[in-house]
Structure 1
Amino acid sequence: MKFADLGLSDKLLQAVEAAGYTEPTPIQAQAIPQVQMMKDLIAIAQTGTGKTASFVLPMIDILDQGRKRARMPRSLILAPTRELAVQVADNFEQYGKNHSLSMALLIGGVQMGDQVKALDEGVDVLIATPGRLMDLFERGKILLTGCELLVIDEADRMLDMGFIPDIESICEKLPASRQTLLFSATMPPPIKKLADRFLTNPKYIEVARPATANINIAQHQVKVIPRKKREVLRYLLRNDDVQTAIIFANRKTTVRELAKSLKRSGFAVGEIHGDMDQSSRMAELALFKGGEINILVASDVAARGIDIKGVSHVFNFDTPWHPDDYVHRIGRTGRAGAKGRAFTFVTDADAEAVANIEKLTGMKIPEWEFEEAATSKKGAAADKASVQDSTEAAPKRSSTRRKSTKDVEEKSRKTASAARSNTSRRKSRAQEEDNQDIAGEWHGPIPEFLSISAIP
């Protein structure tokens, strides 16, 4: 099937073709006709399946007919995070470039004045996070009585973040005769209850089993002790053909410290977490998208909604606490049919979390098999050479008398002892630098803390 077979307008097809797409993904092929027929829709789709375009494309054609009014948006898209809201806005700008639709983005961390000004002029598409939307509504800056179409994106994430009461309040303020589209990766009972209450005879679409990890992603778990995590991470970043990578940690402090550590080791690294203001987060994402940095360390604030082409690797520096977060984290790679790799660092304390992930996804995460590092031989050779260098560099003293055999043996013993001592100190310093994450290659054999197993 081609996009041209879906009944989209010529102007929209030109924009889609300009973006480099000709064939719709399964969720797009199934959802777009339903949206065009003005039907309510429940779509269960894992991240990375192209679900954003499945509602953005038909909405552009639908909204091309009609007139906007001040403070009364014609359509509303609710997103759980600022990053996802920005991603949806980017899609509208990309695919709606041949249309004259107006759009407003209501998210926290941005000056409210410009947002209010856009609403006063009238918008066809309003993209918002629930908190900022409720804030402006309570200030009397926005009316929802003219909204013809509502999209609830990442509904299960809304549930996780405690937004369901806000969603219910917003839905109650919208016209009853609207079209509602609900997208979610899973369908827990509270989301089903929400759908039963606010959707009318919805069409149900499911393109993959709920919470199934993308088959295009090669997944691995790496058994490691906590104090060796950074050392193993550096090894994988240098040896697994990493083009671009997102590294997830559970805590904001870990994100900051890990980003600094990797920078000291010579990597081009950025960071994004909840303590950063919106402009700083967007600046880091722009550097990552533009290729000025190729590694992004992130907390779960970035686990959903970031659609960056060509992310080759995802690293879970910390095993996620919630199994759903695992699916969404690794979904940053292997997008739109591309191949990706995901490594999850697992300590003894993570056994239960990994079991929950495997139960949710219905698959075992294979353990990563480390090949013998070529650097181990180089490290041994370097140590041997350093001993030889120390021996050869032993100072020589001129003497007018012939040295006795005993003198020569004593000097040789002291020289060898000094060489061994120097080598020992060098090894100790090298180990200390590794522990402190000082820049440098990983020399020496693969350490015993790694669990080795064969992958079938």
Structure 2
Amino acid sequence: MTTSFADLGVPAPLVAALNDNEITAPFPIQIRTLPDTLAGRDVLGRGKTGSGKTLAFSIPLVARLADVRRRPNRPSGLVLAPTRELATQITETVKPLAAAYGLKVTTIFGGVSQSRQETALNGGVDIVVACPGRLEDLMKQRLISLDAVQITVLDEADHMADLGFLPGVTRILAATPATGQRLLFSATLDNGVDKLVRRFLHDPVSHAVDDGKDAPPPAMTHHVFHVAGAQDKKDLVHRLASGTGRRILFMRTKHQARKLAKQLTEAGIPSVDLHGNLSQPARDRNLAAFSTGEARVLVATDIAARGVHVDEVELVVHVDPPAEHKAYLHRSGRTARAGSAGDVVTVVLPEQRKDTQVLLRRAGITVAPQLVGADSTPVQALVGEVAPLRMPAPKAAPPARPASPKGQGRGSGGGGNGRRRRGAAPGASQRPARRSGPRRTGADAR
């Protein structure tokens, strides 16, 4: 017998909102957690990336606040997320549900002017989806108070409990009422998560659906491609990027991500980059280009490993294998989402083979490595149809700088203001003493 959202106790207005968005059947993580979250229990939910966790906490978040009275600068619901991209995508999931009850949702993160966020808060919002850094800034400026929060959600809880987030997250949770409901969701629940659980959750219920009979059918195929050297790796990566579908290529550094995106674009494979050095408008533009198909390839650092959801990403390539196994799982989770199929490739240089073997074992991935080149049969089978090259438009040459009129400009031999240097003999040149290095003239001297 198929379980419906209504069977799980989801209120009718939210069931209708889900149907309007063509969401009719709950995923296992939702089936497991919704009875407890809708009943007001504190819950820890663990499920693989793409398993439906965002909807699993968005439904009880909105349902709890259905009759809330909106007040300026005092939200009733709070969702914490580690990255701007994840915060934005959570907001996109929550808004259609919130609209069923007339609830207002706003997103708070750094990298953009806070004036618009201040305006939204002053006007009154019911649910805030926030990154910890900017949220704490607004708290310190007394622009937001969390003393009316009835339900708090911590998404990607394992990531929020390490990498320097933990102190800020602890301060934020401490600013919410102790009587409020708290939900923690992640693909893994380890590291400092237990510290947050012990301090902030009351009699929590744990649910995990990433193994056993509750796991969705495996739709992700892993490949490990060994290459002989750096040039072979470059050729292989360009070939893997050349297919017709969307693909995400992961690099370790911002510089290398930017460099590879530029190289691919110049080679006729439209690509955009995503990393921490980009402004928020640039991030938004690049993600939009990737989502619409204007760019087929996204070259990213681990900033895209969590929270970036674009439909029909058919291939993830670990151009640089990650440092630890959780990053591997989160990167890989950008494909094969919500039951769709996808492939994951790890490109391995000779000196990386031992570390990658350990990494995959810790990630629970068993796959036989293959020594390949760009034209090897396994590579061609994975790439499939090669997309036509789209060479970038040539850049326009900069306009020529107009020449200075003869006899004018600093440093010229003629003209001038008719005054001679102090101590110079009559008739001596009025040119300043020559400096070492190239002589500057005209506009170059300003």
Q: Report the TM-score, using the length of structure 2 for normalisation.
A: 0.79
Indicate the residue corresponding to 1:215 in structure 2. Answer: 218
Residue 99 (structure 1) shift = 3.0
Structure 2 residue 215 is the aligned partner of structure 1 residue 235: no
Unaligned runs of 5+ in 2: 378-389, 392-446
Indicate the residue corresponding to 1:178 in structure 2. Answer: 180
Q: How does 1:143-182 map to 2 (within 5 A)?
A: 143-182=145-184
8 Å Cα contact 1:242-1:313 kept in structure 2: no
Q: How does 1:34-433 map to 2 (within 5 A)?
A: 34-209=36-211, 215-224=218-227, 225-238=229-242, 242-368=244-370, 373=375
Q: Counterparts of 1:266 and 1:104 in 2: how far apart (Å)?
A: 39
Structure 2 residue 38 is the aligned partner of structure 1 residue 31: no
8 Å Cα contact 2:106-2:129 kept in structure 1: yes
Residue 333 (structure 1) shift = 0.2
Q: Counterparts of 2:258 and 2:247 in 1: how far apart (Å)?
A: 16
Residue type of the alignment partner of 1:314:
V
Q: Which secondary structure does the structure 1 equivalent of 2:78 belong to? A: strand
Residue type of the alignment partner of 1:233:
V
Q: Which moved more, 1:335-344 or 1:183-192?
A: 183-192
Residue type of the alignment partner of 1:315:
V
Q: Counterparts of 2:370 and 2:362 in 1: how far apart (Å)?
A: 21
Indicate the residue corresponding to 2:21 in structure 1. Answer: 19
8 Å Cα contact 2:162-2:192 kept in structure 1: no
Q: Counterparts of 1:49 and 1:242 in 2: how far apart (Å)?
A: 26
Q: Counterparts of 1:232 and 1:199 in 2: how far apart (Å)?
A: 48
TM-superposition CA deviations, 1:21-44 (whole Å, max 9, x none) = 211111111112211100000111
Q: How does 1:429-440 map to 2 (within 5 A)?
A: none
Indicate the residue corresponding to 1:435 in structure 2. Answer: none
Q: Counterparts of 1:30 and 1:164 in 2: how far apart (Å)?
A: 27
Q: Counterparts of 2:163 and 2:232 in 1: how far apart (Å)?
A: 32
Alpha-carbon distance change, 234 to 123 in structure 1, aligned in 2, over 3 angstroms: same
8 Å Cα contact 1:41-1:182 kept in structure 2: yes
Identity of aligned residues (%): 34
Q: Counterparts of 2:374 and 2:234 in 1: how far apart (Å)?
A: 19
Q: Counterparts of 1:213 and 1:221 in 2: how far apart (Å)?
A: 23
Residue type of the alignment partner of 1:202:
P
Unaligned runs of 5+ in 1: 376-437, 440-456
Residue type of the alignment partner of 1:216:
A
Q: Counterparts of 2:183 and 2:330 in 1: how far apart (Å)?
A: 21
Alpha-carbon distance change, 214 to 257 in structure 1, aligned in 2, over 3 angstroms: farther
Q: Which secondary structure does the structure 2 equivalent of 1:5 belong to? A: coil
8 Å Cα contact 1:104-1:118 kept in structure 2: yes
8 Å Cα contact 1:3-1:24 kept in structure 2: yes
8 Å Cα contact 1:246-1:314 kept in structure 2: yes
8 Å Cα contact 1:214-1:334 kept in structure 2: no
> Paired residues, what number?
375
Alpha-carbon distance change, 79 to 161 in structure 1, aligned in 2, over 3 angstroms: same
Q: Counterparts of 1:19 and 1:279 in 2: how far apart (Å)?
A: 28
Q: Counterparts of 1:372 and 1:352 in 2: how far apart (Å)?
A: 22
8 Å Cα contact 2:43-2:182 kept in structure 1: yes
TM-superposition CA deviations, 1:236-287 (whole Å, max 9, x none) = 334xx55110111001111111111111221121111110001110111111
Residue 49 (structure 1) shift = 0.6
Residue type of the alignment partner of 1:105:
T
Indicate the residue corresponding to 2:10 in structure 1. Answer: 8
8 Å Cα contact 2:98-2:104 kept in structure 1: no
Residue 140 (structure 1) shift = 1.0
Q: Report the TM-score, using the length of structure 1 for normalisation.
A: 0.78
8 Å Cα contact 2:250-2:319 kept in structure 1: yes
Q: Which secondary structure does the structure 2 equivalent of 1:93 belong to? A: helix
8 Å Cα contact 2:98-2:105 kept in structure 1: no
Residue 110 (structure 1) shift = 1.7
Q: Which secondary structure does the structure 1 equivalent of 2:313 belong to? A: coil
TM-superposition CA deviations, 1:45-100 (whole Å, max 9, x none) = 22111100001122222211120111111011110111110110111123334331
Q: Counterparts of 1:373 and 1:300 in 2: how far apart (Å)?
A: 28
Residue type of the alignment partner of 1:276:
L
8 Å Cα contact 1:324-1:357 kept in structure 2: no
Alpha-carbon distance change, 349 to 205 in structure 1, aligned in 2, over 3 angstroms: same
